[in-house]
Chains A and B, each alone.
Chain A
Amino acid sequence: MTTAGAGAAGRVPDNTPLDLYGRPAWHRVAAGYVGWGACGLAVALIAAPLASVLWGVIGRAVPVWRWSVLTEAGNGQGGGLANEIVGTLFILAGVSVLAGSVGVLSGIYLSEYARGRTGAVLRGASEVLAGIPSIVLGYVGYIALVIALHWQYSLAAALITLSALTVPYIAKSTEAALRQVPTTYREGAEALGMSPLRSLRRITLKAALPGITTGWLVAMAISVGETAPLLYTAGFSDSLPSLSLTHSPVGYLPYVVWTFYNYPAKAFQSLSYDAALILVVMVLVLIVLARIVVAFTQRHTERN
């Protein structure tokens, strides 16, 4: 397109499409407006359901909110959510230890040790496992752990089932974080006489820690709200969870949302809304924490 005309020169920076004579090509200008307008509409179509979901939860829960739901356990008339909150925290702690350790170790293997085909196959298996529907995991957990191993509804069955779902996330983010650590760090550690294990622990893992933490937080955000893997592994209980790993069902927040929302009694419906609000707050806190870790590291690492 020629823009050599004296009048056209001033229009070059704004990148208006021109025809062969240097005049604005209005149909192409219009196509741009229509196209970007449609894209703007797409963003609105993402923002609107998000706002509606958040408002739907807050608008339902806040009018019926009472602080005693945090301290009272559930009972036949409604009660509170203390047992479910403690149960969710128990499950979260268990998953963060179990899936956290397996996932981080697995990520270390995939990044530092695995070579060629083995790595590709194991990585593929992990990615595919993340795509297995959560209800399928829950069903297998029920058949294998609750029935075949006679654990009954229990914390251990819930933890193992939920960990199968979260390990891939942690493994993937750990591997990605370790791969971003420059090779020169490892070489420098070796040149200074560090043993391989010490170098892995003190140099490589330390440099990758923010990335690993972010992935771990995201995995926790996912496990907070998972329901399908827990329904038939954790069972449900109205009392505070006991510390025994097997033969003792555990209550957790998503169950309340799923079961109580269409009970006829208002007390149960309110509990369902409260549980949804607590879940959303927990997820938001975890996401914000992950963002803070990312922002903090970006400020404290030098760009090269």
Chain B
Amino acid sequence: MTLTTADQVPPADPLPATRAALASHGRTGFMQEKLPRLVTSLAAFVPMAALLAIVGVLAWKALPALGYNGIGFLWHTAWRPGNAYANPVRTGGVLHPVGASYGALPLVAGTLESSVIAVAVAVPVSVGAALLVVEKLPRRLSSTVGLFLEVLAGIPSVVFGLWGALTFGPFIARDVAPFVAGHMPDVPVLNFFRGNVGYGEGLLTSGLVLAVMIIPIVAATARDLLRQVPRLPKEGALALGMSDWEVARKVSLPWARAGIIGASVLGLARALGETMAVAMVSGAVLGTVPTNLYLPMSTIAATIVSQLDGAFTDGTGYAVRTLAEFALLLAVITLLTNIAARVLVRRVAGTALPIGRGV
């Protein structure tokens, strides 16, 4: 036997070569090649079609509300369903109850603030844990931490909501928030951390519950990226006399930096769209921008889920259309965040990010 074929460098994607070989073999009958290709390609177009349908349906439903609410929708704070008992009026061709007016600012602010808190807490924790798992812990222990992350990723968001409402929120209100609020100096910027701590439903609890929920995807991605750091630079650094902490801090971490930033943006996208848990711990207050950590608030996603029932009672359909506008806004925000994270990581790190919750 000669070793010539084994010695050759394989082509980057060997499948086309295989397919070409198959094609030249005369086995490209309809049943063998074309039909499977057709059927599978139809299935592969389903996600694309679903995306288009989502944006299309939302735009179709939201368009009249979009016209009536106008661009000011983005910075108004009102949440007025209008008078359900008076005869509805028509403005610019859009039927709506008298005095109805909706603004997105409080919800956009609530969504962004809670998500930023979540990312600010989740990213350092995730990266620290990923460093320990990859650089220090023996295989057995790191597989245990992996199991933690999988279970955390698998726990349903209503269960997180239940935990946040009954266990974690009260814990924050009783043991954490009074301490923070009481020790914060009275400086303009830090006033965000001061205030009446309430009962544990609000911005801080929402942000922290979201942090727990996005840790799995950020930590699992960071771990996988850190595992891809090549051996040689690490060994070189060790040979130069670096300690294992310095290797982790000054070789591995910079190597994976772009990917970790991408993973954080992915976590942000997840936090922006998380619904049930936030709906259960946010306090569901509409129409005010949260100006300190402890105020009850709501997010776009949580509002859609909690207000749709009530929106059905608006006989003009205007409330449902406005919620469609909110859904469209949320879809666009998360779409852009997701795409940005993926493009960034693919360009800079050359790897693909995981999807969803990072199981």
A residues bordering B, Cβ < 8 Å?
1, 3, 15-18, 28-29, 31-32, 35-36, 38-43, 45-47, 49-50, 52-54, 56-57, 60, 101-103, 105-106, 108-110, 112-115, 121-122, 124-140, 142-144, 164, 167-169, 171-172, 183, 186-187, 190, 195-197, 200, 218, 221-222, 224-228, 231-232, 254, 257-258, 261-262, 272-273, 276, 279-280, 283-284, 286-287, 291
The A interface, classified by DSSP as helix, strand, loop or mixed, is helix
Query: Please, could you name 7 A-B residue pairs with CB atoms under 8 Å apart, sorted by A?
Result: A108-B36, A133-B274, A172-B355, A261-B165, A283-B151, A283-B155, A287-B151
B residues bordering A, Cβ < 8 Å?
10, 14-16, 18, 21-22, 25, 27-28, 31-33, 36-37, 39-48, 50-51, 53-54, 57-58, 61, 124-129, 131-133, 136, 145, 147-152, 154-163, 165-168, 212, 215, 219, 238, 240-246, 248-249, 266, 269-270, 272-276, 279-280, 301, 304-305, 308, 320, 323-324, 327, 330-331, 334-335, 337-339, 342, 352-353, 355-357, 359
Q: A227 near B359 (CB under 8 angstroms)?
A: no
Q: B48 near A40 (CB under 8 angstroms)?
A: no
A42 in contact with B129 given A122-B48, A183-B15 (CB within 8 Å): yes
A50, chain B: closest CB distance, angstroms: 5
Q: B132 near A39 (CB under 8 angstroms)?
A: yes
Contact of B249 among A35, A128, A228 (CB under 8 A): A35
Number of A-B contacts (CB under 8 A): 318
Q: B131 near A39 (CB under 8 angstroms)?
A: yes
Of A115, A127, A130, A172, the most chain B CB neighbours within 10 A belong to A127
Q: A276 near B158 (CB under 8 angstroms)?
A: yes
Q: A227 near B156 (CB under 8 angstroms)?
A: yes
The B interface, classified by DSSP as helix, strand, loop or mixed, is helix
- Which 4 pairs between the two chains have the least Cβ-Cβ distance? A225-B156, A133-B273, A42-B128, A1-B241
Q: A261 near B162 (CB under 8 angstroms)?
A: yes
Beyond the given A17-B241, A17-B242, could you list 4 further A-B residue pairs with CB under 8 A, ordered by the A residue number? A106-B43, A272-B162, A273-B162, A279-B159
CA distance in complex: A142, B61 (Å): 12
Q: Which residues of B contact A218 (CB under 8 A)?
A: 154, 359
B147, chain A: closest CB distance, angstroms: 7
B59, chain A: closest CB distance, angstroms: 11
Q: Which residues of B contact A197 (CB under 8 A)?
A: 31-33, 36
Q: A231 near B154 (CB under 8 angstroms)?
A: no
Q: A168 near B355 (CB under 8 angstroms)?
A: yes
B96, chain A: closest CB distance, angstroms: 18
CA distance in complex: A218, B359 (Å): 7
CA distance in complex: A196, B147 (Å): 39
Q: B51 near A276 (CB under 8 angstroms)?
A: no
CA distance in complex: A232, B166 (Å): 25
Q: A257 near B128 (CB under 8 angstroms)?
A: no
Contact of B342 among A127, A135, A138 (CB under 8 A): A127
Residue of B nearest to A226 (CB): B156
A125 in contact with B48 given A46-B145, A49-B212, A195-B27 (CB within 8 Å): yes
Q: B50 near A129 (CB under 8 angstroms)?
A: yes
CA distance in complex: A252, B132 (Å): 40
Of B21, B132, B330, the most chain A CB neighbours within 10 A belong to B132
Q: B327 near A28 (CB under 8 angstroms)?
A: no
Q: A258 near B280 (CB under 8 angstroms)?
A: yes
Residue of A nearest to B331 (CB): A136
CA distance in complex: A146, B22 (Å): 47
